[in-house]
Amino acid sequence: MSDAHSPRHDARSHDHRRSTQSASAPPGDVSQLPKGQCRYILTLPELKGHRCGCMGFHHNTSLPGATCYCGHFACFHSPHSIQRTGDDLAVLKRRVKDLEAMLQQKGSYQPESLVCRISDLEETVESNEEESAMQMKALYQNSSAAWEVIEALQERTKTLETYCGLYREQMAATRGELRELYNRQLELMDGEESLEERLHRLEDPGDILPAFPTTPMGSLRMDTR
């Protein structure tokens, strides 16, 4: 029974050693791995565009390949680490102090500038409101005057339409009178022609009086019976 159990135990120990060996780093020269900071550009939405904050490569032997504890491969790290000296630290401290002073100045100056700008904007808005109110009043007055003119024109148009109707009636009556005068003139012309004919007849009575014989007076005898 011990012999039957020993092959299983050996197989499990062999599988465990194989899995541990596959998960560990491959054999190689550790001195060739980079030492500098990570230059990987993050892709998270809230950190997009920023680089990884790892300042030095530290080999994570529990992961396959040359991977740093920051989670990025060795190819994203600088080959050499930056050695900071006392002068560099002094320069950094000086820059930090300068930045703090600038921030304090901007912080003290910013509210005053904001107040000035806000007051200027308020004055501009008030002046614009006054100008717009005056313009609205002027527009209202102009529109009311325009409506008055339009109403007067409408009344005048109605009056002109009434006059036009009267003129049409008068013109129709005048046409009727002219037609009557024309007819009477024709009648008068006909009567004038008839009068001329009668006058002509009166002036030439030969056609009207009877013809008497032309005998001498001596030959006439008086009848004494």
Tens digits of residue pLDDT in 22-63: 334 455 567 788 988 898 888 888 887 788 989 889 899 888
Question: pTM for this structure?
Answer: 0.28
Look at residue 207 in the predicted model and tell me its pLDDT: 56
Look at residue 225 in the predicted model and tell me its pLDDT: 53
Q: Which helix (H) or strand (E) holds 158?
A: helix 86-203
Give, in order, the Cα–Cα distances in Å from 14 to each of 8, 19, 61, 69. 10, 9, 20, 28
Extract long-range pairs of 40-47: CB within 8 Å, 24+ residues apart. Answer: 40/70, 40/72, 40/76
Give the C-alpha separation, 82 to 41, whole Å. 19
Q: Tell me how long the chain is.
A: 225
Look at residue 214 in the predicted model and tell me its pLDDT: 58
Look at residue 216 in the predicted model and tell me its pLDDT: 57
pLDDT in tens, the chain (225 residues): 344 444 444 444 444 433 333 334 455 567 788 988 898 888 888 887 788 989 889 899 888 889 999 989 999 998 887 666 667 778 888 888 888 888 777 665 566 777 788 888 888 888 888 888 899 989 998 998 999 999 999 999 999 999 999 999 999 999 999 999 999 999 888 888 888 888 888 877 665 555 555 555 555 555 555
